[in-house]
Amino acid sequence: MAIKNTEQLGVAIQARRKQLKVTQKDLAMTCGTGLRFIIELEKGKPTCQIGKILQVLQALGLKCQITNSGVEVVGQ
């Protein structure tokens, strides 16, 4: 999935979390982040920390690829 903005990233993360039947609270605990961070990330907050975003992607079995056409989030 090609990601063009933070809102699309949030949608992709939320969709994967729901596919795995994981609550926001459980995801936050797994990643060592706060629940508020997960909520804001899924809403597309543009100032979320990239390091924490990468932790969330890893916990959900996703990876981020940067290509000539943009950024893609793909399942492993």
Summarize pLDDT for 27-68 with one digit per residue, the tens.
Answer: 999 999 999 999 999 999 999 999 999 999 999 999 888 887
Cα end-to-end span (Å), the chain = 13
Domain boundaries, position 54: 2-75
pLDDT tens digit string along 4-15? 889 999 999 999
- CA separation for the pair 71, 65 (Å, rounded): 6
CB-based contact 39:13 (threshold 8 Å) = no
CATH assignment at residue 57: 1.10.260.40
User: Number of folded domains in the chain?
Assistant: 1
Gap between the Cα atoms of 6 and 41, Å rounded: 8
